Copies of this chain bind each other. A is one copy, B any other.
Amino acid sequence: MNKSQKRIREVFKNNNFQYFSPLSQFTRLVEETGELARILNHLYGDKPKKQSEAKQDLEDELGDVYFTLVCLANSTGVDLDKGLEKSVSKLITRDKNRYDK
């Protein structure tokens, strides 16, 4: 099982936390994706930069998206590593020219 998923499973167990229902957890994922959008637009898009936002914040926002994704995978019983390998398999066959230089 994916190492990060084990880590979060342990955190939830130790703190007596309970996962949200799938649609509610997915809505959390979208909330965090929105915060990632904001920082990416400040760093790389047309939105004027704010002094208070730096590339350091990107680590936080990517971490929050990752956390909510791991929660969703844990609560639905999915191994992210298995899913990732399927994604890689598609990439190097069907979509081989998608990321060509």
A interface vs B, CB < 8 Å? 2-4, 7-8, 11-12, 15-38, 40-41, 43-48, 55, 58-67, 69-70, 72-73, 76, 78-88, 91-92, 96-101
Nearest Cβ on chain B to A23's Cβ, whole angstroms: 4
Contact of A60 among B12, B23, B86, B101 (CB under 8 A): B86
Copies of this chain, count? 4
Query: Are B48 and A62 touching (Cβ within 8 A)?
Result: no
Q: How far is the CA of A38 from the CA of B43 in the complex (A)?
A: 22
Q: Looking at chain A's contact residues, is the secondary structure mostly helix, strand, loop, or mixed? A: helix
Query: Are A83 and B96 touching (Cβ within 8 A)?
Result: no
Beyond known contacts A22-B43, A58-B76: 5 more, CB 8 A cutoff: A20-B45, A21-B45, A27-B45, A32-B34, A67-B88
